[in-house]
Amino acid sequence: MKRGAIILLAAALALIFFLGGCTQKGSRESPVTAAPSPQAAGEVDFADLKLAVGSAPGPVTYPLAQMAELNNNIVLKPWQGTEQLTAMISAREVQLCSTPLHNAVLSYNKGLDTQLLMVTVWGMLYVMSTESEVASLQDLKGKEVALSGKGSIQDLIFRHLLLQNDINPDNDLTLSYLDMSEASSRLATGKLKYAVLNEPQSSIAILNAQKAGMQLHRVLDLTQEWNKLPGQEEASMPMAGIIVIGGSGITNEEAAGFAKAYIDTGEWVNNNPAEIGPIVEKHVPAMKATAVSQSLEYARLKPRYAADCQVEVEAFLEELSRTADMRAFGGKIPDAKFYCQTN
């Protein structure tokens, strides 16, 4: 049996049978153990479970689309914007929800009954430009750079990098806040020369530019720029994950089983970019197959249990808090109970 088929089979079986647990950690030192086998803990029949998962456009949703393809009881519910996300969580419309890390922390600090189940995507921000000679952040001085959402995680990260490189984001260049699709369109028509885009938007922008007879470049990888900061040489940039919604009807065992299935499926997705593109477009029509497939090379889709990522998340937020107002995250770095413990 081919490796891809084995991973697909493992993911499907995990959706049907796998058990684990999700409890609140009391301290960073709490041990992380593997989820118990069905023989040790009984069985949950996922075939009878109607599981709704909030999905945001981006690589975090790629494994979700494949999981929904394998099991039609996994229903994806797309969301756009923080207000819709908050309403979805408050109304418990979903049991799980993919979200940028920023929104996950903010929801928890606001007192919403949520926990971070997984960190799934790490550092997928790029400065896109029609001018390939850009070699450093310093080269952006005096330029107009488009960003998505003032106060968003993209904005906070980019501003932090500018400030840490002695560039004043309010005086040394012009930041314009545009919807990512609009920024992508303007790049393709030459109306805009620089934009900070995530995946798959950077891949979409490149494809759109090619159709218009233009060449677009990923001139700066902001993860690499982050690793140039003092003390951040080996640091990760946790950008997105999946949260569990308390009181929504999902059990600890089901949440842990879902996480295991997601991690297995994520491995298959990374190894099968051509196959996953059409599947994502089928379940999330706004994300086109070609862009999805091409984006995987740059998406840093590396799903991990949140309980294993606490140190990295805290280090990232602590570094970012040197320049960002922590009110953007609800006023504080979340405590240990933010991280769902699978055991």
Phi and psi dihedrals of 95, rounded to 5? -95, -30
Q: Which fold has domain 126-226?
A: D-Maltodextrin-Binding Protein; domain 2 (3.40.190)
Q: pLDDT-derived band of residue 148, with 50, 70 and 90 as boundaries? A: confident
User: Angle at Cα 208 formed by Cα 172 and Cα 204, nearest 5°?
Assistant: 75
Q: Is 180 within 8 Å of 198 (Cβ atoms)?
A: yes
User: Angle at Cα 300 formed by Cα 296 and Cα 301, nearest 5°?
Assistant: 80
Q: What mean pLDDT is reported for the chain? A: 85
Q: Residue 219: what pLDDT?
A: 96
How confident is the model over 74-123, as pLDDT tens digits?
Answer: 999 999 888 898 999 999 999 999 999 999 999 999 999 999 999 999 99
How confident is the model over 169-223, as pLDDT tens digits?
Answer: 999 999 999 888 888 888 888 889 999 999 999 999 999 899 888 899 999 999 9
Answer whether 3-122+238-341 and 126-226 agree in fold: yes
327 alpha-carbon distance from chain centroid: 21
Scanning the structure block, which residue is given the tokens 């799980």? 96
- DSSP, collapsed to helix, strand or coil, labels residue 215 as coil
96: nearest Cα among 85, 110, 81, 109:
85
Tokens of residue 277, six digits: 């593109």
Phi and psi dihedrals of 32, rounded to 5? -105, 120
Tokens of residue 22, six digits: 């999700």
51: nearest Cα among 91, 16, 4:
16
Query: Within 10 A of 19 (CB to CB), how many other CB atoms are there?
Result: 22
Q: Is 204 within 8 Å of 59 (Cβ atoms)?
A: no
The residue extents of the domains of the chain are: 3-122+238-341, 126-226
Tokens of residue 334, six digits: 């979340």
Does position 6 have pLDDT exceeding 90, yes or no? no
Tokens of residue 290, six digits: 């070609």
Q: Is 41 within 8 Å of 181 (Cβ atoms)?
A: no
Does position 256 have pLDDT exceeding 90, yes or no? no
Q: Residue 254: what pLDDT?
A: 87
Question: What is the C-alpha separation between 50 and 166, in angstroms, rounded?
Answer: 51
- Specify the DSSP class assigned to residue 48: G
Rg (CA), the chain: 20
Question: What is the C-alpha separation between 145 and 183, in angstroms, rounded?
Answer: 10
Q: Is 35 within 8 Å of 11 (Cβ atoms)?
A: no
310: nearest Cα among 34, 30, 73, 42:
30
Phi and psi dihedrals of 73, rounded to 5? -85, -5
Does position 54 have pLDDT exceeding 60, yes or no? yes
Cis amide bond preceding 31, omega within 30: no
Q: Which amino acid is at 69?
A: E
Question: What is the C-alpha separation between 112 and 105, in angstroms, rounded?
Answer: 10
Q: pLDDT-derived band of residue 30, with 50, 70 and 90 as boundaries? A: very low
Residue 312 belongs to what H/E stretch?
Answer: helix 310-320
Q: Which fold has domain 3-122+238-341?
A: D-Maltodextrin-Binding Protein; domain 2 (3.40.190)
Whole-prediction pTM value?
0.86
| Residues near 257 by beta carbon (within 8 Å), at least 6 away in sequence | 14, 15, 17, 18, 19, 20, 35, 44, 46
Question: What is the C-alpha separation between 137 and 255, in angstroms, rounded?
Answer: 41
How confident is the model over 258-293, as pLDDT tens digits?
Answer: 998 999 999 999 999 999 999 999 999 989 999 999
